[in-house]
Amino acid sequence: MRNAVLGAAMIAAAVGGAAPSYGQSMFTTADSGRLFATGGVSNVEGAGGGGISTWAMITGYGTKDSIGGNVHGTFIPLANFQDFGTGVAVGLFDRVELSYNHNVFNTGPTGSKLGLGSNYALNQDVYGVKVRLFGDILYDQDTYLPEVSVGAEYKNSDNRALLHALGAKSGTGVDYYVAASKLFLRESVLVNATLRETKANQIGILGFGGPKNNGYQTEFEGSLAYLVTDKFVVGAEYRTMPSNLGFTKADDWKSIYAAYVFNKNLSLTVAYVDLGTIATLKNQNGAYASVQVGF
């Protein structure tokens, strides 16, 4: 609850900073100087990326001389569950990204079948930090060198008693990742590859570790996107998942998405996601809709 309040306060602060004209913004160095569609959108953990994958780019439209930031709301109605994510992220001088995301994973009518009660919800907070090591997604068009960042995400899920009953070893966990992104602007193609060290079950919503495995495993996130216009991007993503729990398996996540950047303050991402089996329920396919407001 405290986390949710903190998150709401951060969102309010960010909106307050974004709403006035740039010159009067609380972030006096905000200039929205970066080009359209070079920052990605907010992913399911609140980091700059696609829908389900994490990218190397620092979120927002800030340059190396300025600050960018955004808030987002994401709705993912699946066959048996629905996830509602809200979060805030700031990009500092195109070097550091700080993010917070709150996921409410609602079991809907399925909750009763699982013995949890109808509309039983699992809550998760994700605090993320990402640091760009080298490379520039846009300017480095005369080299094959990608933009590379490293990041960590501290994830905290409530409903500890339930998570332990499901076999998870912990309700908190830290993911570490290294992400490489390359824009082949001449070809209008964006490629991303991320390696993540994680114990998270379904990104942590079902806790961390389990009877099958309680150590870190290396997972892969990949995405491929095509820049249809300067404002419209279509792509596909793939993300592997550890399968630590005993009572259910976990499948790799897949998505195909389209993102439309109305302007530097508003973007909309829609996707079709296939998250496989979640908590014994197969074929968790569904939609994904995310609105991002920022600068």
Partner 1 sequence: MMINIVRRIAIMALTAAALHSPLSMADTMEQSAFAAMGGKDGLQKIASLGMDNVLNDDRIKDKFTGANIPRLKLLLGTQFCALLDGGCVYGGKDMEAAHKGMNLNDADFNALAEDFRNAMIDLGVPNRHQNVLLAKLAPMEKPITAH
Q: Which is nearer to partner 1, 4 or 189 (CB)?
A: 189
Whether 177 contacts 197, CB under 8 Å: yes
Q: How far is the CB of 127 from partner 1 (least distance, A)?
A: 28
Pick one of 25, 43, 53, 63: the residue that binds partner 1 (CB under 8 A). Answer: 63
Find the part of the chain contacting partner 1 (CB under 8 A) among 10-18, 61-69, 101-109, 124-132: 61-69
Find the part of the chain contacting partner 1 (CB under 8 A) among 109-117, 169-177, 199-207, 221-229: 221-229
Q: How far is the CB of 95 from partner 1 (least distance, A)?
A: 13
Nearest alpha-carbon partner for 198 in 210, 190, 189: 210
**CB hemisphere CA count around 66 (13 angstroms):** 19
Find the part of the chain contacting partner 1 (CB under 8 A) among 7-15, 80-88, 132-140, 149-157: 132-140
Q: How far is the CB of 263 from partner 1 (least distance, A)?
A: 12
Q: How far is the CB of 64 from partner 1 (least distance, A)?
A: 6
Q: Which is nearer to partner 1, 2 or 186 (CB)?
A: 186
Find the part of the chain contacting partner 1 (CB under 8 A) among 152-160, 228-236, 240-248, 280-288: 228-236
Q: How far is the CB of 185 from partner 1 (least distance, A)?
A: 4
Q: Is 64 in the site for partner 1 (CB under 8 A)?
A: yes
State how far the Cα of 224 lies from the Cα of 84, in Å rounded to an integer: 25
Q: What Å distances lie between residue 263 and 27, 232, 233, 249, 259, CA to CA?
A: 19, 11, 13, 41, 12
According to CB under 8 A, which residues from 138 to 197 bind partner 1? 138-142, 185-188
Residue 273 exposed, middle or buried by CB count within 10 Å (0-12, 13-18, 19+) = buried
Pick one of 227, 271, 273, 279: the residue that binds partner 1 (CB under 8 A). Answer: 227
Whether 31 contacts 24, CB under 8 Å: no
CA trace torsion 257, 262, 266, 268 (10° rounding): -20
Nearest alpha-carbon partner for 196 in 147, 250, 140, 238: 238
Find the part of the chain contacting partner 1 (CB under 8 A) among 10-18, 63-71, 125-133, 241-249: 63-71
Structure-token pair, residue 242:
């550890």
Q: Which is nearer to partner 1, 145 or 287 (CB)?
A: 145
Check residue 94 and report its DSSP letter: T
Whether 185 contacts 225, CB under 8 Å: no
According to CB under 8 A, which residues from 67 to 126 bind partner 1? none
According to CB under 8 A, which residues from 10 to 39 bind partner 1? 31, 33-35
State how far the Cα of 61 lies from the Cα of 258, in Å rounded to an integer: 19
Applying CB under 8 A, the residues found at the interface with partner 1 are 31, 33-35, 63-66, 136, 138-142, 185-188, 227-230
